[in-house]
Amino acid sequence: AQSVTQLGSHVSVSEGALVLLRCNYSSSVPPYLFWYVQYPNQGLQLLLKYTSAATLVKGINGFEAEFKKSETSFHLTKPSAHMSDAAEYFCAVSLGTGNQFYFGTGTSLTVIP
Amino acid sequence: DTAVSQTPKYLVTQMGNDKSIKCEQNLGHDTMYWYKQDSKKFLKIMFSYNNKELIINETVPNRFSPKSPDKAHLNLHINSLELGDSAVYFCASSQAPLLAEQLYEQYFGPGTRLTVT
Per-residue model confidence (pLDDT) at position A17: 97
- Chain B residues with beta carbon closer than 8 angstroms to that of A108: 41
Q: Does B68 touch chain A (CB under 8 A)?
A: no
Cα B3 to Cα A44, B74, B77, B91: the distances in Å are 13, 14, 22, 11
Reduce the DSSP state of residue B2 to 3 states and report it.
coil
- Chain A residues with beta carbon closer than 8 angstroms to that of B88: none
Distance (Å, rounded) from C-alpha B93 to C-alpha B49? 9
A97 Cα to chain B: minimum distance (Å)? 5
Per-residue model confidence (pLDDT) at position B80: 97
* Between B36 and A54, the higher pLDDT residue: B36
Reduce the DSSP state of residue B75 to 3 states and report it.
strand
Q: Does B75 touch chain A (CB under 8 A)?
A: no
Q: Does A113 touch chain B (CB under 8 A)?
A: no
Each residue's pLDDT tens digit, A52-109: 778 899 999 999 999 998 899 999 999 999 999 999 999 998 866 556 788 999 999 9
Each residue's pLDDT tens digit, B50-65: 877 787 777 788 999 9
Cα A103 to Cα A16, A28, A85, B19: the distances in Å are 28, 17, 20, 26
Q: Does A8 touch chain B (CB under 8 A)?
A: no
- Answer yes or no: do A96 and B111 touch at CB < 8 A: no
Give the pLDDT mean for B29-35.
91
Per-residue model confidence (pLDDT) at position A63: 97
Residue of B43, B44, B53 to mutate when probing chain A, most A C-beta within 10 A? B43
Each residue's pLDDT tens digit, B63-78: 999 999 988 999 999 9
Residue of chain A with shortest Cα separation from B31:
A99
Q: Phi and psi (nearest 5°) for A97?
A: -65, 120
Sequence-distant (≥ 6) Cβ neighbours of residue B72 within 8 angstroms = B24, B25, B26
Cα A59 to Cα A17, A34, A55, B95: the distances in Å are 18, 10, 13, 20
A41 Cα to chain B: minimum distance (Å)? 8
Q: Which has the closest alpha carbon to B113: B50, B41, B53?
A: B41
pLDDT at A48 over 90: yes
Give the pLDDT mean for B104-110.
88
